[in-house]
Amino acid sequence: MKTKSKILKELNISGFSKLEKLISIKDVVKIKKILKEQNKNIAKNKKFHGNARLIFNLNSKDDFFYNIIFNKKILKICAEYFKFGAYKTDKNIFQFDHMHARTLIGKSKSQNLHIDSRICGVCPPTSIHFFIYLDPASKMNGATTFVKGSHMIKRYPEKKDKIKATSVNCNIGDAIVLNSSVWHGSGEKNTPGERTIITLVYTRWFISQQFAIPYSIKNKNKFTEKQKYLLGFYNYPPKNEKQRQTRRGSLPRY
């Protein structure tokens, strides 16, 4: 396993880094079993892949996913990554944003280069992505492709940039951590069967979550204060100045 400093160096220079065996085979089997039981929650995304199967907001489907959200290695990487640009005395400088699964079924077209941060070349970085592989990824079955150093380019990728992309092979349980502004896509999948990845995202604490995570949790007492900060409990703005005047505070009631 790479050291934290090497991962951060690769994130700074290339915009991404491969993490071998981030989660165990046992956890992969558990996750696949949970995903299999989520047929009613499946969505289809024709924008990138005509036959992709997606399940959004995984933490709301099973508490097991909090084990990954609170993974110590992941959080240590995030803490160092978001330290750059954060105020020196600020605490709890990042939060969990979202987690979803995407499965490619059978043969699929390649995915165009794009960025996930919505801001090209943003510095300091606003978000970080982890792609966790539940199946092997190779050039033959549409491995993720990246353009090294593209997280520093202040424009969006174009079709002509595709020739600059390189694919990264991964085994079951491996992950790729990336600056969310790096240009990435995937190759053409020329094999039968399925390939599933989990997308796990963290952002700076003041950026609104894709889903209102704290409001969807029934048993809030099962989390520590540190975990509540990570899940966004104290990062929602008040309804008005009568509720609260500070940017952060207890979860507002709307």
**pLDDT, greater one: 119 or 39:** 119
Residue 148 pLDDT more than 80? yes
Question: pTM of the prediction?
Answer: 0.95
pLDDT above 60 (res 46):
no
Q: Look at residue 45 and tell me whether its pLDDT is greater than 90.
A: no
The answer on pLDDT for 39 being more than 80 is: no
Helix (H, G, I), strand (E, B) or coil at 6: helix
What CA–CA distance (Å, rounded) separates 101 from 105? 13
CATH class of 4-211: mainly beta
Mean pLDDT of the residues in the chain:
93
- pLDDT at residue 41 in the model: 74
> Roughly what angle, to the nearest 10 degrees, separates helices 72-83 and 4-13?
50
pLDDT bucket at 26, cuts 50 / 70 / 90: very high
pLDDT at 50: 58
Domain residue ranges in the chain: 4-211
Tens digit of each residue's pLDDT (9 = 90 or more) over 63-90: 999 999 999 999 999 999 999 999 999 9
Residue 22 and residue 176 in contact, taking contact as beta carbons nearer than 8 Å: no
CA dihedral 190, 162, 177, 154 (to 10 degrees): -160
Lowest mean pLDDT among 9-23, 28-42, 114-128: 28-42
Q: pLDDT digits over 190-206, tens only? A: 888 899 999 999 999 99
